[in-house]
Amino acid sequence: MYLIVIAWMYVVLMMSVAEATHPSGTLLGALVTFVLYGVGPVALVVYLMGAPSRRKAIKAREAAEATTMQPPSLEPDAGSHTAGSLAPVASDAGIAPVRKEP
C-alpha cells in the first residue's frame, strides 16, 4: 500500500514542480496543487486503509484488559443493618398509620 502512496506523492511533486517552473505558473499554484492533489487525498486514503488494523488493535487491547480484570466478589454485604425494616417508619409520629377500608 505504501508503494502506491510514495509513487502518487512523486507524481504530485512533479506536477507541483512543473506548475512552479512554468512561465505562467506560480508558487502558490504549486502549493495548492501539492496539497489538493497529494497531501489531502493521500492522508484520507491512508487513514481509511488503516481502519481495519486499528480495529484489530482495539479488540486485542480490550481482550487483554478483560483477561486481567478480577472477577467481582461474591461475598454478601457485611453490614449489620437490616435490608428494609419498617419499624422505624411506623414509630415516626409524622406518618399516619394505614387503616383498612370499612
Overall domain count for the chain: 1
Mean pLDDT of 82-99: 59
Domain assignment present for residue 98? The answer is no
Q: For residue 70, which amino acid is it?
A: Q
User: Which three three-digit cell numbers place residue 9?
Assistant: 506523492
Q: How far apart are CA 15 and CA 5, in angstroms?
A: 15
Domain assignment present for residue 48? The answer is yes
pLDDT at 99: 73
> What pLDDT digit, counting tens, does each position of 13-29 carry?
999 999 999 999 899 99
Domain assignment present for residue 23? The answer is yes
Domain assignment present for residue 94? The answer is no
Mean pLDDT of the chain: 81
Domain assignment present for residue 87? The answer is no
pLDDT at 92: 54
> Residue 45: which domain range?
2-68
